[in-house]
Structure 1
């Protein structure tokens, strides 16, 4: 990678690469990204190190090509009606990357409401498919604006099931449960700790460990050495900028 490419990569482009890494060498599984940056990341993975990854048009078609964000696929290789999509979910052949209005130290996620259930301060999307996602196939999370309002000590309602909740539910719930990682505009996080609590795995360039700690509403597990998130290669930057997202939608989700 040239020095010029290194110095000009934006925060959004680091986030795209971090999201793409969630599907590295995933094989023939369905990528289900929710959000602009994860969508670009899944398409980047498909064009580079995960060529067998399955991508949809967001409705019912499996795309054979990789169109730019906002463009229609020109080559379609399959039809994926809702019933078949659910079959892939329950068989674990999908890796979804969801958003989170709240997420806690054990990976419990909330997209339903903020505040007490009887009288919430804010009504959100609802539980949607989060419980089924988290109990049946790998579920990662993308947070475009990392703050202590999102990364909370305890979520107000559990939608996506975290490691402590699934352990309390028993072996049948834990059998296929996996939360590989959480990616935010500040860094990458996983649950590779003895108690399965959230760990800081890397920070994006320009971000410090102290910055992440201040913006998080609970105590993260922090290794002695925290690396930077890997740099986009020159080839990846070209794909992001010229092929997948020439209109620059990524910079509207993650500010430069």
Structure 2
């Protein structure tokens, strides 16, 4: 099978049950549903794989970059050189800022801290004057969150990530965007938060983080215990939280083709 071929149904994935990493990749793919012809920027293995899975299935108009300056005509496998791949467009780094400012992008970032309203930190942990840890810096998080759709991927769901108050606001949450007025809130929109335990989103009246589903084998109580603040739950409480859908046989086949080296299992081992 070449890197651009789609496997025949049942070629690989149907022979085994879905693992947690597969569920996470599918949940990340669903973050792009309905996006149309926009640029997908995905950080982390599960999001990168999810964007490719979405392109191969329900989102054929999604634009995927080779990570440098080319837009690819097909969803290429992870970790495989794009030799012989067809290029459908040119997008040098200087042009990415135009895409960001026009809202034609959906990014999945990896937060170091995230609060109940979607404020995100990737800069530093601890007091500003004497931080315990210096991270990668604010980077493009402010512009991303106020200009186009932003989702999040958390490979290790814990109270250290899901905190009552972030130490540095890099990505803008719903409460701060609303307080800042139209300049920050007009195009602001946070999508879903996918973790190794669950799927969450901000689709509540006050845009507070809610528990959408818990992954197979994970209870809602486990998710709540791993979160540093209360999550919005369905009317029936924790017992009414549904199970995150697992990939079917055809989707598993695609995941095997798109991740032939099994990189997703290094990120989520369960």
Superposition TM-score tier, normalisation by shorter sequence: over 0.9
- Mapped to 2, the partners of 1:134 and 1:178 lie a distance apart of 7
Give how far 1:70 is off.
Answer: 1.2
Match of 2:157 in 1: 146
Aligned residue number for residue 159 of structure 1: 170
Residue 4 of structure 2 is matched in structure 1 by none
CA distance in 1, matches of 2:230, 2:14: 35
Could you tell me which residue of structure 2 aligns to residue 171 of structure 1?
182
Q: Which runs of 5+ in 2 are unaligned?
A: 1-8
TM-aligned CA distance change 1:6 to 1:97, over 3 Å:
farther
1:53 has 2:49 as partner: no
Match of 2:223 in 1: 212
**Native 8 Å contact 2:116 2:164 kept in 1:** yes
CA–CA separation in structure 2 for the residues paired with 1:66 and 1:140: 20
Distance 2:221 2:48 in 1: 29
Q: Which runs of 4+ in 1 moved over 4 A?
A: 4-7
Q: Is 1:231–2:246 an aligned residue pair?
A: yes
| Structure 1 residues 21 and 100, CA gap change in structure 2 (3 angstroms) | same
Alignment of 1:8-23 (within 5 A): 8-23=17-32
SS in 2 for 1:202: strand
1:96 aligned residue:
107
1:71-107, CA deviations, whole angstroms, 9 ceiling, x for partnerless residues? 2331111110122111111100000000000000000
TM-score, reference length from structure 1 = 0.96
Q: In structure 1, what is the equivalent of residue 208 of structure 2?
A: 197
- The residue number in structure 2 matching 1:252 is 266
CA RMSD of aligned residues (A): 1.5
The 1-side partners of 2:113 and 2:16 are apart by 33
Displacement of 1:172 in angstroms is: 2.0
Change (3 A) 1:6 1:146: farther
Q: How many residues align?
A: 254
Q: TM-score, normalised by structure 2?
A: 0.91
Does the aligned pair in 1 maintain the 2:14–2:250 contact within 8 Å?
A: no
Structure 1 Cα separation of the partners of residues 181 and 16 of structure 2: 48
Structure 1 counterpart SS, 2:108: strand
In the alignment, structure 1 segments of 5+ residues that lack a partner are none
Deviations 1:209-231 (A, max 9, x none): 10001000001111122111112
- Structure 1 residue 194: deviation in Å? 1.9
